[in-house]
Amino acid sequence: MLDHLALQCADVGAAADFYTRVFAPCGVRELMRYEGPGGAVVGLCGPDSFPRLWLGSLVDPGHRPVHLAISAPSREAVDAVFAAARESGAEILHEPRIWPEYHPGYYGVFFRDPDGNNVEAVHHTFPS
């Protein structure tokens, strides 16, 4: 279970714009923004209106790969995230498809955010 995740960003505003635009089909939106000691801090939320993804200024410029998966309400939402990511110019790592090696109903798309993180939109369908 994940309560929240904080990412270091070279440009917090650009990252916030990217996540809210690309993941809008999953209900992601900006909930709050404030100025911290190192610059802007942005809290993003999903449909539950709880800030689970935090974007802040770059503190450690070293190698820091992160994989972030955001739940999508449907396969159509995953496809819409893919279209928005492609339109934004994001590097597409894997186009939307079923990943049977994870489980038969795992449908996801993988791409890079503006800071090079591997991000994903995923929808899980389980047989009844």
Q: What are phi and psi of 14, to 5 degrees?
A: -65, -40
Mean pLDDT of 16-25: 97
Structure tokens at 18: 């990217």
The predicted pLDDT at position 64 comes to: 67
Q: What is the total count of domains within the chain?
A: 1
Provide the CB-side half-sphere exposure for 75 (13 A, CA).
Answer: 11
The predicted pLDDT at position 60 comes to: 75
Q: What is the CATH number of the domain that holds 49?
A: 3.10.180.10
CA 121 to chain centre: 7
- Average model confidence (pLDDT) across the chain: 92
The predicted pLDDT at position 4 comes to: 87
The predicted pLDDT at position 112 comes to: 93
Q: Is residue 62 part of a domain?
A: no
Torsion sign over Cα 50, 21, 122, 12: negative
Say which DSSP state 26 is in.
G
The predicted pLDDT at position 108 comes to: 96
**pTM, entire model:** 0.85
Predicted confidence (pLDDT) per residue in 40-97, tens digit: 999 999 999 999 999 999 877 776 668 899 999 999 999 999 999 999 999 999 999 9
The predicted pLDDT at position 38 comes to: 85
Q: Is residue 93 part of a domain?
A: yes
Structure tokens at 98: 């079923």
Q: Is residue 102 part of a domain?
A: yes
How far apart, in whole angstroms, are the C-alpha atoms of residue 12 and residue 56?
A: 6
Predicted confidence (pLDDT) per residue in 88-125, tens digit: 999 999 999 999 988 889 999 999 999 989 999 999 99
How far apart, in whole angstroms, are the C-alpha atoms of residue 121 and residue 109?
A: 6
Say which DSSP state 37 is in.
T
What domain range includes position 44?
5-57+67-124
The residue ranges of DSSP E strands in 27-91, in sequence order, are 29-36, 39-45, 51-57, 67-71
Q: Is residue 94 part of a domain?
A: yes
